[in-house]
Structure 1
Amino acid sequence: MFTGIIEATGTVKDITHSGTNATFWISSAISQELKVDQSISHNGVCLTVEETANGMHRVTAIAETLSKTNLGQWKPGTIVNLERCMQMNGRLDGHIVQGHVDATATCTNIVSKEGSWEYSFRFPETFSHLVIEKGSISLNGTSLTIFNVGKDDFTVAIIPYTYEHTSIHTLQQGDLVNIEFDIVGKYIARNMAGIKSK
């Protein structure tokens, strides 16, 4: 479980493929502190550390993950957001993030507000019931508040600290981002719909 408060950014150094899997070597300031079997959020995707060496760590994404996230578009040099799992004795500064990406969204507009930035995104309309004005969302693993919510789009405001300390500053119009909707909202939506488990 994560909070959506990004701890560091990392750089993809190498990518190899085996069958339908993709393996990534990522260099970051926290890589040497990581341990094998540790769960780390990479752009909002929970991945298991398989190996660490020379200030880098290795993770593998399977076909299911590659098909539902933007990891398949990573290349050497890509900057990714990193967060270690939360400690239960700490403050929850963001919101509850599972690291289970629901969909991808496309960046449709970027506006500089002379001290902050507004990024707009379009997402699959089938998820519109999970997006509310001033609600929380995880965007590439970053906990953000959404506004200007439409049936298939929303906007987020980015403060200077977030702009400088996450990968948001690398986004361009047309880029895909990983989104995870608020888990509390998902449970409420399922309950209201009267859906029962098998």
Structure 2
Amino acid sequence: MFTGIVEELGEVVKASEAFLAVRGPIVTSDAALGDSISVNGVCLTVVSVEGDVFTADVMEETYRRSVIGKLEPGDRVNLERAATLTTRLGGHLVQGHVDGVAEIVKRTPAAEWEEVTFRLPEGLAKYVVEKGSITIDGTSLTVAHIEGDEFTVGLIPTTLEATTLGRKQVGDQVHIETDVVAKHVEKLLQSAGSLS
């Protein structure tokens, strides 16, 4: 479980069909075998740590649901260690289980922030609500507006500087994780409907 508060921008050191090696001095400072680290919102399990580089195995399912397989050495990634019982919950409850890949369709700079609009993959818009939480590349954000399959968030200077979202361009793809509570409510309502 994560909070969606990115701890640092890491750098991909090596990528293959089966594993990913990432440099991140903060997240590796106390990382151990079996720990979970969010890489652009994808929960990966640490299999080794050498200095400030950790390696994680990557399954076919992860490649199918995400764009982790497109990462190359030198790419920057958002990193966050798993939450603990004493962690401040500055964002929201994030599982690190990507629901799909969205595309940036518009960036609108303003004096103090920037609005960014994304197009959701089919079937995810029903889980996104205005003023609700959403995770984009592992970053906990608030939905400012949603219309159809497109939603907009506002990015403050800190988010623009401290995450990959400040570097992404129109047409780039990002990982989306919707609020897990909405998915549970939907399943409960479906089950209740089948009982009547």
- Specify the TM-score bucket, using the shorter chain as the normaliser: over 0.9
What is the Cα deviation at residue 39 of structure 1? 0.6
1:35 aligns with 2:62: no
1:68/1:103 contact within 8 Å kept: yes
Matches within 5 A, 1:29-178: 29-30=25-26, 31-178=28-175
Deviations 1:112-149 (A, max 9, x none): 11221111100123122101111100100000001220
Quote the offset at 1:78 in angstroms. 1.0
Structure 1 equivalent of residue 11 of structure 2: 11
| Structure 1 residue 97: Cα displacement | 0.4
Letter in 1 for 2:8: A
Deviation at 1:192, TM superposition (A): 2.5
Question: In angstroms, what is the RMSD of aligned CA positions?
Answer: 1.4
Q: Secondary structure at the match of 1:49?
A: strand
SS in 2 for 1:162: helix
Deviations 1:153-175 (A, max 9, x none): 10110001111111111211111
What are the ranges of 5 or more consecutive residues in structure 2 without an aligned counterpart?
A: none
Aligned counterparts of 1:67 and 1:125: Cα–Cα separation in 2 = 15
Percent of aligned pairs sharing the same letter: 39
TM-score, structure 1 normalization: 0.92
Structure 1: gaps of 5 or more residues: none
Match for 2:4: what amino acid? G
What is the Cα deviation at residue 32 of structure 1?
4.1
The one-letter amino acid paired with 2:75 is T
How many residues get paired?
192
Alpha-carbon offset, residue 54 of structure 1: 3.1
CA contact (8 A) 2:117 2:152 kept: yes
SS across alignment from 1:179: strand
**TM-score by structure 2 length?**
0.93
Matched residues in 1 for 2:68 and 2:88: separation?
29
1:103: how far off? 0.6
Counterpart of 1:53, as a letter, is E
